[in-house]
A and B are shown apart, each in its own frame.
Chain A
Amino acid sequence: MKPAAFSYERARNVDEAISALARDPDAKILAGGQSLVPMMNMRLARPSRLVDLNGIRELAAIAAAADGGLTLGAMVRHTELTTSSLVRERAPLIAAAAAHIGHRAIRNRGTLGGSIAHADPAAELPAVLLALDATIVVAGPAGRRRFAAGAFFVGLLTTELAQDEIVVGVEIPPSPPGWGFAELTRRAGDFAIAGVAGVLGHDGLARLAGFGVDDRPIRLRGAEAALASGDARAAGGAAAGEAHPADDVHASAEYRRHLVSVLTEAVVNDARERLAHAHGGARAASEAAAR
């Protein structure tokens, strides 16, 4: 299983990468390669040129944002998302979700930007970005563009990214204190058959996102609304109604709809527990301070 021939260049900075893409419409970005290279080995993907981003250090930064959130460069590896203390503190949902991606050797190379650009509907991180209401930043010949995560994933393996653009990073606003993540896989590390990522805030904020339940990650707005008046089970029931999953070798659409309701309920329960803990913790801290 050897790939078709291609030429290779190593971009030294973002501008070089973009120019390379602009020059050759069949060129593709090489980030982690953990999704692209298997497809190339099977000759399902046949780029004429690979533009390697792995040498662009500025894309691998993790930085605290002034508003209490953080920024993540596109070339941050999945492993770093699980180990970075900044990510674990400010966006624990990301750290938790990334731990489910493949296996360690895959996570050591796979990148946040790659996961976003590839947009597999069963991938964890795109759904997490929806739940966190993140902003995805891309760069192209005309400069930078910013997208709300919810507006970026537009179809099966399809995003708003133009052929001559690359994802450069993600801006994560401050994470609500309640969060939950649940997925069902056949084996640990496999692509999810279905999954849900969600956050809850003290002010009644609720964002739930499903993956593996449509051709792209989706906000489960019906489930979110049901939470306001109902309980976790009601949210689960609503989620099943708004999922439009596929039938494939691994599961039927019907089963996936069932899973999304079960997982939504589980995520809501976990998020509520974390919210209560945070609330109680915050109250205890402020009470202690008041004494």
Chain B
Amino acid sequence: MSETVRLTVNGLAVEGSPAPRRSLADFLREDLRLTGTHVGCEHGVCGACTVLVDGRTARSCLLFAVQLAGAHVTTIEGLTPAEGLSPLQAAFRDCHGLQCGFCTPGMIVTAHELLAENPAPTSEVIRDAISGNLCMCTGYVNIVRAIDEAARRLRDGAR
């Protein structure tokens, strides 16, 4: 029943033979052991499972791994440098933009897409961008501050 699917994950060629019904989220987490992407609802609302597919955010709980042949998938692991933290990650830490950390990978992936398209978003634009990512701990206040701070640092030339 399972055919081989070949895709690129975080820049590396990957192949697997997941059953058609295996979600991309489960494939990433269980088959590839990339557990940074989290599952919170499995119906596309909470945003914890957000990854980049061909550079655009997508709910990995609503994609089947077999659909991704030839696609480039980026997870939180792919947005983390080999050493240290990315400017976004550092800003989340510095602005206390996380508490339990479960929504954080999805938030960072979403923020990554936002800042790639809009290097100087207002706080309203930031709130709109993350409105599809639920957080139960922070009340969003420091998440908005973190993304704003990250935008500033990136504009100032942080790598």
**Could you list which residues of chain A lie within 8 angstroms of chain B, going by C-beta atoms?**
1-8, 10, 30, 33-34, 37-38, 41-42, 50, 52, 54, 79, 102-106, 108-109, 187-189
Q: Check A102/B21 contact, CB under 8 A, given A7-B1, A38-B43.
A: no
CB-CB < 8 A to A8: which residues of B? 20, 64, 66-67
- Interchain CB contact (< 8 A) of A106 among B1, B113, B132: B132
Please tell me if B156 contacts chain A, counting CB pairs below 8 Å. Answer: no
The answer to whether B132 touches A5, judged by C-beta atoms less than 8 angstroms apart, is no
By the criterion CB–CB under 8 Å, are B64 and A104 in contact?
no
Closest Cβ of chain B to A45, distance in Å, is 12
**Across-interface contacts of B97 in A (CB, < 8 A):** none
Residue of B nearest to A105 (CB): B57
CB <8 Å contact, A10 and B69: yes
Q: Taking CB as reference atom, which chain A residue is nearest B69?
A: A10
**Given that A41-B61, A103-B132, A109-B62 are contacting pairs, would A54 and B67 also be in contact in the complex, using a CB cutoff of 8 Å?**
yes
Within 8 A of A (CB), among B97-139: 110, 113, 128-129, 131-132
Q: By the criterion CB–CB under 8 Å, are A6 and B131 in contact?
A: no
A103 near B21 with CB under 8 A, answer no
B76-108 with Cβ < 8 A to chain A: none
Closest to B55 in A: A108
Q: Which residues of A contact B38 (CB under 8 A)?
A: none
Q: List 20 A-B contacts (CB under 8 A).
A: A1-B43, A3-B21, A4-B21, A5-B20, A7-B20, A8-B20, A8-B64, A8-B66, A10-B67, A10-B69, A33-B63, A34-B44, A37-B64, A38-B43, A41-B42, A41-B61, A103-B131, A104-B57, A104-B132, A106-B132
What residues of chain B have their CB less than 8 Å away from a CB belonging to chain A?
Answer: 1, 19-21, 23, 42-44, 47, 50, 53, 56-59, 61-64, 66-67, 69, 110, 113, 128-129, 131-132
Contact A108 B21 (CB under 8 A): no
- Most B C-beta atoms less than 10 A away, residue of A3, A5, A50, A103: A103
On whether the beta carbons of B21 and A6 are closer than 8 Å, the reply is yes
CA A106 to CA B62, docked complex, whole Å: 9
Query: In the assembled complex, how far is the CB of residue B50 from the closest CB belonging to chain A, in whole angstroms?
Result: 5
Most chain-B CB neighbours within 10 Å: which of A2, A79, A105, A188?
Answer: A105
Bound-state CA distance A188–B20 (Å) is 33
Q: A52 and B43: CB pair below 8 A?
A: no
Nearest-neighbour CB distance to chain A for B17, whole angstroms, equals 12
User: Do B19 and A108 touch (CB < 8 A)?
Assistant: no
Report whether A104 and B67 are in contact in the complex, using a CB–CB cutoff of 8 Å: no
Q: Return the chain A residue nearest B62 by Cβ.
A: A37
Q: Point out the residue from A10, A52, A105, A188 that lies within 8 Å of B128, measured CB to CB.
A: A188
Q: Is the CB of A109 within 8 A of B131?
A: no
- Nearest Cβ on chain B to A58's Cβ, whole angstroms: 17
Residues of A within 8 Å of B21, CB to CB, are 2-6
- B56 contacts A103, CB within 8 Å? no
Complex Cα–Cα for A109 and B24 (A): 14
Chain B residues closer than 8 Å to A7, beta-carbon distance: 1, 20
A42→B50 contact, CB < 8 A: no
CA distance A249 to B44 in the complex (A): 20
A52: chain B residues within 8 A (beta carbon): 67
CB atoms of B129 and A6 under 8 A apart: no
Q: How far is the CB of B32 from chain A (nearest CB, A)?
A: 18
Minimum CB–CB distance from A5 to chain B (whole Å) comes to 6
In the complex, residue of chain B having the shortest beta-carbon distance to the beta carbon of A8:
B20
Cβ-defined contact, A38 with B44, below 8 A: yes
Tell whether, in the assembled complex, residue B110 and residue A6 are in contact, meaning their CB atoms are under 8 Å apart: no
CA distance A4 to B21 in the complex (A): 7
